[in-house]
């Protein structure tokens, strides 16, 4: 099997994922995943598609992450890994990943700030006199 690549996005974070057969190493921007995502919760989020499909030690994953915050990057990486697994074996992995919502791109973005007010929805205090 050659290297499979996929793209995952969340908010303003973009994850370019390259999956190849190997020992289960996950490298993010040239660093091990445990160093890049020190939080156990974010490591769990990243590994969810792999643990769901019983592939935790089967593939080496190299990731280029850009933009967004740490949580958005972790969720973008989860989507990228899920899409790559679907490219590897659609019949086996797609139903389980789709049922758990890992193939759906979360389309929520930050609403832009409007002119003449302090935030997206916030208005300056009204003064009658």
Q: Are 33 and 52 in contact (CB under 8 A)?
A: no
Percent of the chain with pLDDT over 70: 100
User: Is pTM beyond 0.95 here?
Assistant: no
Task: Given CATH 2.40.10.340, say whether it is the number of domain 4-99.
Answer: no
Contact 5, 84 (CB under 8 A): yes
| Whether pLDDT at 3 is above 80 | yes
- The neighbour count for residue 86, using CB atoms within 10 Å, is 21
- Residues 36-47 have pLDDT tens digits of 999 999 999 999
Burial class (CB in 10 A: 0-12, 13-18, 19+), 53: buried
Q: How far is CA 23 from the centre of its chain?
A: 21
- pLDDT bucket at 74, cuts 50 / 70 / 90: very high
Give me the pLDDT at residue 1, please.
73
CA nearest neighbour of 55 among 82, 16, 27, 17? 82
pLDDT value of residue 6:
95
Arithmetic mean of pLDDT over the chain? 94
Confidence of residue 53 (pLDDT cuts 50, 70, 90): very high
- β-sheet with 26-28: strand ranges across: 4-10, 13-21, 59-66, 26-28, 31-32
pLDDT at 37: 94
Mean pLDDT (whole number) for 114-126: 94
Residue 56: both structure tokens together? 């935790």
Distance from C-alpha of 87 to C-alpha of 56, rounded to nearest angstrom: 17
pLDDT attached to residue 32: 95
**CA 98/CA 117 separation, integer angstroms:** 41
Average pLDDT over residues 19-23: 93
């Amino acid at each position: 099997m050659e290297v499979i690549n996929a793209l995952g996005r969340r908010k303003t974070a973009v994850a370019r994922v390259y999956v190849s057969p190997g020992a289960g190493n996950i490298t993010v921007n040239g660093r091990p995943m445990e160093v890049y995502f020190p939080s156990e919760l974010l490591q769990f989020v990243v590994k969810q598609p792999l643990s769901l499909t019983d592939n935790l030690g089967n593939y080496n994953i190299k990731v280029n992450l850009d933009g967004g915050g740490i949580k958005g990057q972790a969720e973008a990486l989860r989507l990228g890994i899920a899409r790559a697994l679907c490219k590897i074996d659609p019949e086996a992995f797609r139903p389980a990943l789709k049922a758990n919502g890992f193939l759906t791109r979360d389309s929520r973005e930050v609403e832009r700030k409007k002119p003449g007010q302090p935030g997206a929805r916030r208005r300056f205090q009204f003064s009658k006199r």
